[in-house]
Structure 1
Amino acid sequence: MKIQGRLFIWLAAFILTVAVVYGFWSKEPVGTTALFLAFGLSIMIGYYLAFTARRVDTGAQDNKEADVADDAGELGFFSPHSWQPLSLALGGAFAFLGIAVGWWLVWFSAPLLLIGLFGWVFEYYRGENQNQ
């Protein structure tokens, strides 16, 4: 994680330089603001990765002498299957489409969003995935 943190911090420095040069050169506020926001996002990710790298064990990607097989094994828990992201994606798509087409469409997307949200939050409290 140290490498990824450094990469994002260097990316943030590059984006900051580009934002300052672009701001002085073009005098265009929207692009300059977007570049400064991109700087903020990349510095947040870089700081998080650098901060987390100090608290976790050194991974194989941080060892220059490591083989690919050294990083094998369980990386974490991931849901085997879930229909909730589909409901959230459809509800979100209809909600954003409602902004462009008409606000009435947001009322039809709200149940899809709520079903997807509650289903995803409580996915492991019921059914075959219930923790014992």
Structure 2
Amino acid sequence: MKIQGKLFIWLSVFILAVAIVYGYWSKEPAGTTALFLAFGLAIMIGFYLAFTARRVDAGAQDDKEADVADDAGEIGFFSPHSWQPLALGIGGALAFMSIAIGWWLMYFSAPVILIGLFGWVFEYYRGENRTQ
């Protein structure tokens, strides 16, 4: 994880340099603001990864002599049959369309988002997977 922190910190230095040069030459506020915000995001991620890397054990990616198989293992559980991301995607698309079309569309997208969100959070609390 140490290398990821270093990469993001160096990326933030590059983005800061680009933001300064772009802001000086273009005098365009929207792009300059976006670049400074990108700098802020990159520096936050870099410091978080560097901060976390000091508190966890060294991973396989930190060892120069490690093989690819050294980093193998369980990543996590991913639901193989969930339809809830589709509902959230449709609701999110409708919500973003409401910015362009009209805010009245948000009344239709909010229930779709809420149904998808609650369905995704509680999909393993019903049926045979319900805890007693």
User: Normalising by the residue count of structure 1, what TM-score does the alignment of the two structures yield?
Assistant: 0.90
Shift of 1:131: 5.1
Deviates more, 1:118-127 or 1:91-100: 118-127
Equivalences, count? 132
Q: Does 1:14 align with 2:5?
A: no
Once superposed, which parts of structure 1, at least 4 consecutive aligned residues long, lie more than 6 Å away? Answer: none
Q: Which stretch of structure 1 is more off in the superposition, 50-59 or 107-116?
A: 50-59
Q: Deviations over 1:82-111 (max 9, x none)?
A: 211111110111111122122222111121
Aligned twin of 1:124? 124
Q: Which amino acid aligns with 1:18?
A: V
Equivalent AA in structure 1 for residue 72 of structure 2: A
Matching residue's letter, 1:19: A
Q: Deviations over 1:6-43 (max 9, x none)?
A: 10110000000111111112211111100000001111
User: Is 2:37 the counterpart of 1:26?
Assistant: no
Identify unmatched segments of 5+ residues in structure 1. Answer: none
- Matching of residues 1-132 of structure 1 within 5 Å: 1-130=1-130
Gaps of 5+ in 2: none
Deviates more, 1:94-103 or 1:7-16: 94-103
Q: CA RMSD in A?
A: 1.6
1:42-100: CA deviation from partner (whole Å, max 9, x where unpaired)? 11111111111122221111100000111111123333332111111101111111221
User: Partner of 2:80: helix, strand, or coil?
Assistant: coil
Deviation of the 1:126 alpha carbon = 2.4
Counterpart-to-counterpart distance in 1, 2:96 and 2:25:
35
Instruction: State the TM-score, normalizing by the size of structure 2.
Output: 0.90
Q: Distance in 1 between the 2:53 and 2:47 partners?
A: 10
